Amino acid sequence: MTPSARLGLTASPAFMPWRDPTAAQPDGWYGVGADRLAAELDVVAGLGLRLVRFELPWPLVAPERPGRDGYDAAAARDPDWPGYRWERADEIVDGCLERGLAPLPIAVFTPDWAGPGPANAPPHPGWFSDFVAAAAARFRGRVELWELWNEPNLRRYWDAPLEDYATGPLREGAAALRALDPALRVVLGGLAQGHGIARILATDRESFDIASLHYYPPRRLAGLRARPEWEVAAFRRALREAGLEETPVWLTEVGGLAAASRPADDGGPVTGRRGQVRLARRALARCQVDAILWYTLRDHVVSDGAGFVKEVYWGILDAELRPRPVATVLRAAAQARRPDTE
């Protein structure tokens, strides 16, 4: 059996984190209208994909501190606390389920009231788990998968040692989820290139059910030098050495730019359209993983607090939802793995 034939879930889009996590961005689903959200979910379902990974941004869902005079843990764990803003998350989850898609929320970012200020700063101990508990209660029976943070091995997402991530959002968040429902499955925050997995395992090897990593090719000759199977093999080796060889591994982001960003920068690997196809085929054929998610569904604009920064072209679709050649590859892979597909 080839590695790609072992995939239990098919390729699926992931969505872009914000440059400014305190405000909704047009690159994610918190910065688009309901009609656009529905149209994009229709595209995902039409491609035959089954798993949708999206952000559940703590700063936007909870812009205010629970409690009038001080932090109120009981209020924070109550999904019906009136300060929560669940509307868009409800739309995403409901839209996924209506189309037979499995939602994978990423609980991520620290509100300014919960930490020292920046969204990548560690939150006050226990407060993240209170939020996760409320979210899981809100979506009980509708969401079975929860990813705890994103790329904690990169400072722009987690400005603290990896060990603090393992004992904080990972361990505390997992405990909150399992206390609510032991059947919920916890996904390790996807590690960029898989780096740092040994440090996490040395601190905590029991708080996740699914290990996840991200892969992007090197910036130089990105369309020709992609070797995602190397990073996956190293990642699996670390799990095996920790006695976790049976733990599922998901490649929760893999991708490359179809064209250089505008205005041009050196922020990501430009594979070109053909390089996207080669990368997708290589990941599907050679990576020993249980799920693959492409980064990202569509092209988008990146903004910061001052406004527009650049247009980027990571998508399997362009900004008008027109498919690129890589979409055909992913659709074929999805259909090959669906027993009910004719």
Residues 6+ apart with CB under 8 A from 223: 217, 256, 270, 271, 272, 274, 275, 278, 279
Query: H or E stretch including 192?
Result: strand 191-192
Q: 0.85 exceeded by the pTM?
A: yes
Beta-bridge mates of residue 22 = none
Nearest to 118 by CA among 189, 22, 192: 22
Burial of 336 (0-12, 13-18, 19+ CB in 10 A): middle
Give the pLDDT of the chain (342 residues) as one tens digit per residue: 222 223 334 444 443 334 454 455 555 788 788 999 999 999 999 999 999 999 999 999 999 999 988 999 999 999 999 999 999 999 999 999 999 999 999 999 999 999 998 899 999 999 999 999 999 999 999 999 999 999 999 998 999 999 999 999 999 999 999 999 999 999 999 999 999 999 999 999 999 999 999 999 998 888 889 999 999 999 999 999 999 999 999 999 999 999 999 988 877 899 999 999 999 999 999 999 999 999 999 998 877 667 778 899 999 999 999 999 999 999 999 988 765 533
Domains contained in the chain, CATH given: 3-336 (3.20.20.80)
294-311, pLDDT tens digit by residue?
999 999 887 766 777 889
Polymer length in residues for the chain = 342
